[in-house]
């Protein structure tokens, strides 16, 4: 009920949006008192909006989970880091709590489906086939399976001491990046 009454936007997909008596008129009338952000488009565009939004949320949650893993590895309080980042109005707080995998009825399913769709249709160059979504799903799977990241990293990379980081370390890597 909350999702229905407190909508960010309403996206309606229909057969023919150019007809004066379009099939979405009833839905538009229903949502008009709740929001003025009603987008009427064709089915394909509406579906891509849904997949794009859900994949972005999955990506954001996995990104902050990865930041959390990095922070814990470096002995930094991930809660402070993520909170400070979330205060940026362009980012917001949703999905910034590290340690929580994404779930629900749509995020995981839609992210997997969209990654498979992009790969199957070869929409991106072969070397970029859903490279952004693949690690998103892998990080989430690790969290769901409750894998001990420190143990895995030490086993895989034989790291025996906690890394220390300074601003100059980050700046050095930043300066090495070529665009």
Residues with catalytic function: 106
Question: Could you give the dihedral angle defined by the CA atoms of residues 74, 80, 81 and 82, in that order, rounded to the nearest 10 degrees?
Answer: 120
Distance CA 163, CA 81 (A): 17
**Token code pair at residue 78:** 């991930």
Asked if 35 and 63 touch (Cβ cutoff 8 Å), the reply is no
Asked if 74 and 159 touch (Cβ cutoff 8 Å), the reply is no
Distance CA 36, CA 10 (A): 9
Helix (H, G, I), strand (E, B), or coil: what is residue 144? helix
**Token code pair at residue 26:** 């009833």
């Amino acid at each position: 009920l909350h999702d229905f009454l407190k909508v960010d936007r309403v996206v309606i997909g229909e057969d023919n949006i150019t007809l004066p008596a379009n099939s979405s008129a009833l839905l538009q009338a229903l949502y008009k008192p709740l929001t003025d952000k009603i987008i009427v488009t064709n089915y394909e565009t509406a579906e891509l909006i849904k997949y794009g939004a859900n994949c972005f949320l999955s990506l954001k949650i996995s990104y902050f989970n990865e930041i959390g893993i990095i922070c814990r590895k470096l002995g930094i309080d991930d809660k402070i880091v993520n909170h400070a980042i979330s205060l940026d109005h362009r980012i917001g707080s949703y999905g910034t709590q590290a340690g929580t995998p994404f779930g629900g009825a749509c995020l995981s399913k839609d992210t997997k489906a969209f990654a498979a769709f992009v790969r199957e249709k070869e929409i991106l160059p072969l070397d970029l086939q859903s490279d952004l979504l693949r690690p998103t799903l892998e990080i989430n799977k690790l969290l769901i399976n409750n894998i001990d990241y420190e143990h895995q990293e030490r086993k895989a990379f034989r790291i025996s001491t906690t890394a220390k980081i300074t601003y100059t370390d980050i700046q050095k890597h930043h300066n090495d990046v070529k665009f």
